[in-house]
Amino acid sequence: AAGVIQSPRHLIKEKRETATLKCYPIPRHDTVYWYQQGPGQDPQFLISFYEKMQSDKGSIPDRFSAQQFSDYHSELNMSSLELGDSALYFCASSSRHSEAFFGQGTRLTVV
């Protein structure tokens, strides 16, 4: 069965650079969620999109932005990267009234 696909799997950036993470949801899933997981931490909700519109917002820094495109894939754009942005970034997708499934994540390292 198709799963949530995230790319890239690993990314190394320097401070103050920009990074773009991509998420491809399970087919027919209309909602995408982004999470950030620091070392030894639980995943923290960043933002979600339903039918290409932002539906909820969590602890997402102003330096980050995201959008969902017409094919339902989503991109998380992160600018002015800081060392503290180093983390695993997960995307999940769901349809209404079905459980969310997570991708394998993107490991971002800021040096």
Question: CB neighbours of 6 closer than 8 A, spacing ≥ 6?
Answer: 21, 22, 23, 24, 89, 90, 91, 103, 104, 105, 106
- Whole-number minimum distance, CB 56 to another protein, in Å? 6
Nearest CB to another protein, comparing residues 85 and 106: 106
- Comparing CB distances to another protein, the nearer of 80 and 106 is 106
| Torsion sign over Cα 66, 38, 92, 105 | positive
Instruction: Name the site residues for another protein (rule: CB under 8 A).
Output: 4, 31, 33, 41-43, 45, 48, 50, 55-56, 88, 90, 92, 94, 96-105, 107
Q: Cβ closer to another protein: 5 or 79?
A: 5
For the bound state, the minimum distance from the C-beta of residue 25 to another protein, rounded and expressed in Å, comes to 12
DSSP 40: T
Q: What is the longest distance spanned by two Cα atoms in the chain?
A: 40
Q: How far is the CB of 16 from another protein (least distance, A)?
A: 26
What minimum distance in Å lies between the beta carbon of 79 and another protein? 24
49, 32 Cβ separation under 8 angstroms: yes
Measured from the CB atom, the residue of 6 and 81 that comes closer to another protein is: 6
How many CB atoms are closer than 10 A to CB 56?
12
